[in-house]
Structure 1
Amino acid sequence: MANQFEVVLEVGGEGGSITLYGVSSENGWRFSRTTEESALGDIADRPTDSLVRKSKVVDSWEEALQLVQRYPWYRLSPRKVHPDFAAKVWKEVVNRLDWMDHGRDLNRWSRVCFGDGGALGELSLLMKKSQSTVILTGAGMSTESDIPDFRSKDGWWRNIDPTTVATVDALKENYSLFHEFYQMRIENLESRVPSGGHYILAKWEEQGLIDCVATQNVDGFHQAAGSKEVYELHGSIRTIRCHDCQSPASIDEFVAGDRCSQCGGKLRPNLVLFGELLPRDAWERALAAIRQADLVVVIGSSLQVSPVNTLPSLTSGKVAIINAEETEQDEMFDIVIHGKAGEVLPKLDEVLG
C-alpha cells in the first residue's frame, strides 16, 4: 500500500487556512499544499462555501517552503506541525518574527512545534541572545554514557551507603572497602566513552554559544569530548594523589593497591570525598562565570548536593534546567524541561541550527 500524505504544517486565521502535506518514501519526502479561503471570513466551522486551492507536488523542503511563502503563514495561528519538521519550521518562524514584537506568537509556535509548553523554543532563543552562557552538569549527563547515577531513584546509593565509602574516615579506617569501590568505578570507566550530549556541549563552546561547563561529574567526559573550559567542582577520578603528602601517582599504581612512592601513604582519586572542601580554583572560576552570566543552564542535576546546588541562584541572568526528574528547586527556574539529556540536547541542537 502506498504511503499516505501526512500534515507537515497547518496554520489558520480569520481568512482561511494553509496546510502543507508530505509523504515519506525510500526516495525521501514529497510535498503538496492546500489553501482554504473562507468566504465567511471565519474558518473555525469550516464553511462549505470556501475556495480550496491546491498546489503541485514538489520533492524538497526548500521547494515546499516556496509553496507557502506567498502567504504570511508564520503570522497565522499554528495548528499542527509534524515532529520530523518541528525544528525546520521553528527556525523559519524565528527568522521571520522578532522576539521583542512577537514573543507571544513565538511561544505559541514553540508549544505546537515541541509540545513542551514552549520551553525548548524559548531556551533556544535565550541561548542565541545570551552574551554569556554557563552550563552546569550533574550525574544525568553521564548516565547517557552508562555511568550509574548515585542519587536517582535507581541510583547506586540505594545499595551502597556513601557515608561508609566516599569519606575520609573510610579511606583511613576501611581502606580495603574504599579501594575496592573506587577501583570498580575506575575500571567501569575504561569501557565508557562520552555521550552525544558531551559532544554537543563541546560543539556549542566552539561555536561561541556557551562560555564554559561547570560539572559535578568526575569522569572527565567533557574534556574527552572536546570541551576546553571545564571546571570540575568535585575533582576528577582520572588522577591520583597521596592522601598524606599530596604527591601525584598513576592510576595503575592505585588500581594495583600500591602505596605512595614518596611517603608510603594511601593513594586516592583526586576527587572530593564527603566532608571535604571543593577545589578552590574550580569553584571560584565557576562562581565568577555564573555571577556574570546572562544565562545558566543546569543539565542532569537533581541539585541535592551543597554547595553546588546554590550556584544557579547566584546569577543575575536567566536560569534553565533540563533534568529527567522533577527537582525541589524547579520553581526557581525561568525554564524547566523534564527529559533526559541524551534526548533533549539533540533536539535543542537541531533547533539552534
Structure 2
Amino acid sequence: MASLLKYKKNVALTGAGISQESGIPTFRGKDGLWKTYNPEELATKNAFVKNPELFWEFYNFRRNLIKNALPNDAHLTLASMEKEGQLFSIITQNVDRLHIKAGSINVIEIHGNIWDVKCESCGKVEFREETSGIIKCSSCGEITRPNVVLFGESVRNIDEAFSIVRDSDNILLIGTSSVVYPAAFLPYEGKESGANVIEINIAKTEFSNEADYFIKGKAAEILPKIYNNMKIL
C-alpha cells in the first residue's frame, strides 16, 4: 500500500467516521444523532424559518459536541502527508473543521462548516463560537444560521471536487457511509478516470465492492502505519 501511494497524486475523501474517532457522533450508525433527532425535520431552511429557536437549539447541541473535539491521528497523518507532498487535497463532508485544526491547508468542505454563520438578511459570513441561544449578525443584528448545507440545498464546490478526483492517482476513502449524494458519486468518478480507491472503514459500505482495496479498521490506527511505511521506502 505504501508503495502504491508514495509520490503519487493522492486525494482523501472523508466522512463522519473519521471524526467519530475524535468523539463526535455520526448521523448514521448505532450511536448516531439520527437516533435522537430527525435532521430531515430540523436541519432544513423551512425549520429555520418556522422555528429558529428549535433550529438553533439543535445546532448548538451539535456545536457543543464538536467544540472540545481534537484532531485524531488520522487527521494529523493526512496533514503530515500534505505537508510532505504526499497528499494533494482533502474533500470532506464533515463540518467540524478538524482537518483545519490538524494543519491541513487544501481542504474542500463541500457541506460547509458549523463555526461560520451567515446572516440571512445582509449576507455577512463570520466566525462565531457561541454555543447557546440564537446567534445574531454582528453587522445588522438579524438572525443568522450556521453556514452549512441544509437538507434540500446544493453542496458546495462540487465541480472542483469532481475535477480533483478525476485528476488523482489514488483516492483514500475514509469513514464515509457512501450513501450521501452527490458526494457518494466522487469515488466512482475517480475510479472511472483511472484512480485506485483505497477504502478505510470500520465496516463495509455501499462502495466497498467497487473499491480496489478495502482496509477494515479505525483510520486513526491504519493511516499512521501506512504513512510510516511510506517514509521508509
Q: TM-score, normalised by structure 2?
A: 0.91
- The match for 1:277 is 154
* Paired residues of 2:91 and 2:107 also in contact (CA < 8 A): yes
Alpha-carbon RMSD:
1.7
CA contact (8 A) 2:208 2:214 kept: yes
Paired AA for residue 112 in structure 2: G
Residue 134, structure 1, aligned to residue 11, structure 2: yes
Q: Of residues 322, 336, 339 in structure 1, which corresponds to 2:214?
A: 336
Match of 1:322 among 174, 191, 200: 200
SS at match of 2:21: helix
Say if 2:164 is the partner of 1:286. Answer: no
Please name the residue that 1:112 is paired with: none
| Structure 1 residues 250 and 232: alpha-carbon distance in aligned structure 2, compared to 1, 3 A threshold | closer
Q: Distance in 1 between matches of 2:105 and 2:135?
A: 32
Higher strand proportion, which one? Answer: 1
Q: Deviations over 1:280-303 (max 9, x none)?
A: xx3232221111111111001011
Within the candidate set 220, 241, 245, 2:118 is matched to: 241
2:47 matched residue in structure 1: 170
Is there any run of 5+ residues in structure 2 with no aligned partner, and where?
A: none
Q: Which has the higher contact order (CA 8 A, sep 6+)?
A: 2
2:71 pairs with 1:194? yes
| Distance across 2 between alignment mates of 1:251 and 1:285 | 27
| Structure 1 position 352, deviation (Å) | 1.9
Distance (whole Å) between structure 2 residues aligned to residue 201 and residue 306 of structure 1: 24
Whichever residue aligns with residue 212 of structure 1, its letter is S
Q: 1:218 and 2:80 equivalent?
A: no
CA contact (8 A) 2:63 2:131 kept: no
CA distance in 1, matches of 2:40, 2:97: 24
- 1:233 to 1:159, Cα distance in 2 relative to 1, 3 A: same
- Tell me the matched-pair count: 228
Provide the C-alpha distance between the structure 1 equivalents of 2:135 and 2:187, rounded to a whole number of angstroms.
41
Amino acid at match of 1:234: H
Deviation at 1:261, TM superposition (A): 4.8
Q: Is the counterpart of residue 349 in structure 1 residue 221 in structure 2?
A: no
* Residue identity matched to 2:205: T
CA contact (8 A) 1:249 1:267 kept: no
* Residues 254, 267 of structure 1: 8 Å contact kept: no
Q: Deviations over 1:45-72 (max 9, x none)?
A: xxxxxxxxxxxxxxxxxxxxxxxxxxxx
Helix, strand or coil at the partner of 1:260: coil
Q: Using structure 1 for the length normalisation, give the TM-score.
A: 0.61
- The answer to whether the 8 A contact 1:254-1:268 is kept is no
CA distance in 1, matches of 2:97, 2:154: 20
Cα–Cα, structure 1 residues 253 and 302, in superposed 2: closer, same or farther, change >3 Å? Answer: closer
2:28 is aligned to 151
What code does the residue aligned with 1:308 have?
Answer: A
Whole-angstrom distance in 1 between the partners of 2:99 and 2:203:
22
In 2, Cα distance between equivalents of 1:161 and 1:309: 21
**For residue 162 of structure 1, what is the amino acid of its counterpart?**
P
SS of the residue aligned with 2:184? helix
Q: Distance in 1 between matches of 2:58 and 2:94?
A: 17
SS at match of 1:204: helix
Alignment partners' CA distance in 1, 2:136 and 2:67: 22
* Counterpart-to-counterpart distance in 1, 2:62 and 2:15: 17
What is the CA-CA distance between 1:248 and the residue it aligns to? 2.4
State percent identity of aligned pairs. 39
Q: In 2, distance between residues paired with 1:254 and 1:246?
A: 21
Distance 2:135 2:33 in 1: 27
User: Where do 1:258-269 residues align within 5 Å?
Assistant: 258-269=135-146
Answering whether residue 178 of structure 2 is matched by residue 303 of structure 1, we say yes
Alpha carbons of structure 1 residues 330 and 234: separation in structure 2 relative to 1, 3 Å: same
Higher-Rg structure is 1
Q: What is the CA–CA distance in structure 1 between the aligned matches of 2:130 and 2:212, rounded to whole Å?
A: 47
1:7-61 alpha-carbon deviations (Å, 9 max, x no partner): xxxxxxxxxxxxxxxxxxxxxxxxxxxxxxxxxxxxxxxxxxxxxxxxxxxxxxx
Checking the alignment, whether the CA contact within 8 Å between 2:196 and 2:212 is kept in structure 1 is: yes
